[in-house]
Amino acid sequence: MSKMTKQNGININCPLPISDYKNILLAHGSGGKLSHDLVRKIFLPRFRNAYLETLQDGATLPYIDQSRLSISTDSFVVDPIFFPGGNIGSLSVHGTLNDIAMCGAQPLYLSVGFIIEEGLPLEDLWQIVLSMESAADEAGVKIVTGDTKVIDRGKCDKIFINTTGIGTIWPNLDIGAHQVEKGDRIIVSGDIARHGIAIMSVREGLEFETTIESDSNSLYDLVNTMRQAGTIHALRDPTRGGLSSALNEIAEAAELGISITENNLPIRDQVQAACEILGLDPLYVANEGKLLAFVPESEAEEILEAMKSHPLGKEAAIIGEVVDDHPRTVVLKSRVGGTRVVDMMTGEQLPRIC
């Protein structure tokens, strides 16, 4: 059947060599190299247009009169669906709103698409809906349209949620990798790797003195505080693929090098310990309530102070800077004094982390 339909399709060869990847791998959705390949070689060439080509988390649309819109979409498939610090519902709201905020926009509206496995307890859905409501309310965002599909048992895993957000770009704001310059300071808004470790701890049954909670949170208000304190060149939320992916994306797009200092990376002791037990590098572990900001050196301290005055930025720290001597490469100065290249993740470290 499918064969017949395919023969009727347009005859354009698939740009990926069949010998390398004949089938979709987990790594194609990892946020790492194979994801990039997939986007650049499969989706981008076919859907090509100026808005998509920026490959930002959300698209900036030139629109009616002076206003520009930001739209972003994300599907959430986290396993387990309830975890310390949140659930798939709150995560699906925070995640998409953060993508909008990273575009320098104020999120206004969300759409929600539920794909639910037959047999999901209604009570679970209810708790998820409540969490979505709270998360949207806290962010001042309206969920304006939705869709529900139910899938036969065993053909989906409890619940998947797609959210799509729309926001308005702040006037006169131009944020993106293209603004990043040599000398820019790189700020992280708080401790890293917490979301991924919260999920993995549940999956692996790890127990600590206190439960490690996801950092899942909405970053819009923090960005609003920051933009009033100074110039922002670029923003990124280091979710799937962690700090490493976000930094490598910026380094590549800006054609500059990035140098970070391990000693300056905020990380909680328990998270560090969990990473060691699980054999994970915290630089590759997902965050869901943290941002990376690239700001001019001259304004970095002022912006950092403003961030520290905000509940979500108390532990903000300058972790590195933009350099020109190793373009497209992220280098870490380690605690013991050496340096190492921080590559983009090549496989799938943590499937279904968000």
Least distance to a second copy from the beta carbon of 167, Å?
12
Whether the Cβ atoms of residue 238 and residue 102 lie closer than 8 Å to each other: no
Question: Cβ 97 to a second copy, closest distance in Å?
Answer: 14
Report the residue number, 110 or 267, with the smaller CB distance to a second copy. Answer: 110
**Measured distance CA(88)–CA(120) in Å, rounded:** 14
Per-residue binding letters, 168-207, with a second copy (x by CB under 8 A): x---------------------------------x-----
Decide whether 25 or 341 has the Cβ nearer to a second copy.
Answer: 25
* Sole window of 130-138, 227-235, 298-306, 336-344 interacting with a second copy (rule: CB under 8 A): 130-138
- Applying the rule CB under 8 A, the residues between 56 and 75 that interact with a second copy are 56-59, 61, 63-67, 69, 71-75
Contacts with a second copy: how many residues (CB under 8 A)?
Answer: 106
Q: Minimum CB separation from a second copy for residue 166, in Å?
A: 6
In the list 104, 139, 140, 151, the residue contacting a second copy (rule: CB under 8 A) is 151
Token readout for 42 is: 């499969």
105 binds a second copy (CB under 8 A): no
Kindly state whether residue 336 participates in binding a second copy, applying the rule CB under 8 A: no
Contacts of 313 (CB under 8 A, 6+ apart): 189, 190, 222, 225, 226, 306, 307
By CB under 8 A, is residue 259 in contact with a second copy? Answer: no
Interface residue with a second copy, options 40, 260, 304, 352 (CB under 8 A): 352
Out of 14, 178, 224, 305, point to the residue binding a second copy (CB under 8 A): 14
Give the C-alpha separation, 129 to 116, whole Å: 13
Q: Which is nearer to a second copy, 84 or 296 (CB)?
A: 84
User: Is 224 among the residues that bind a second copy (CB under 8 A)?
Assistant: no
Instruction: Single out the residue of 144, 287, 112 nearest to residue 216, CA to CA.
Output: 287
Residue 298 phi/psi, 5-degree rounding, is -70, -20
The DSSP code sequence of 287-313 is: -SS--EEEE-HHHHHHHHHHHHTSTTT
Structure tokens that stand for 178 in this block:
């293209």
CA 70 to chain centre: 16
* Helix (H) / strand (E) containing 69: strand 68-76
130 sits near a second copy (criterion: CB under 8 A): yes
- Interface region with a second copy, contact rule CB under 8 A, candidates 3-11, 175-183, 227-235, 290-298: 3-11
Are residues 285 and 193 in contact, defined by beta-carbon separation less than 8 angstroms?
A: yes
Q: Which of 32, 33, 105, 143 binds a second copy (CB under 8 A)?
A: 143
* In the complex, least distance from residue 5 CB atom to a second copy, rounded to whole angstroms: 4
Query: Least distance to a second copy from the beta carbon of 37, Å?
Result: 11
Q: Which is nearer to a second copy, 46 or 314 (CB)?
A: 46
The verdict on 129 binding a second copy (CB under 8 A) reads yes
Q: Which residues pair with 150 in a beta bridge?
A: 116
List the interface residues with a second copy, window 19-48 (CB under 8 A).
21-30, 35, 38-39, 42-43, 46-47
Nearer to a second copy, 15 or 327 (CB): 15
Tokens of 334: 């380690």
Q: Are 332 and 270 in contact (CB under 8 A)?
A: no
Structure tokens at 125: 């859905």
What does the alpha-carbon distance between residue 249 and residue 262 come to, in Å, rounded to a whole number? 19
Q: For residue 191, which of 295, 245, 272 has the smallest C-alpha distance?
A: 272
Q: Report the alpha-carbon distance of residue 31 to residue 35 in Å, rounded.
A: 5
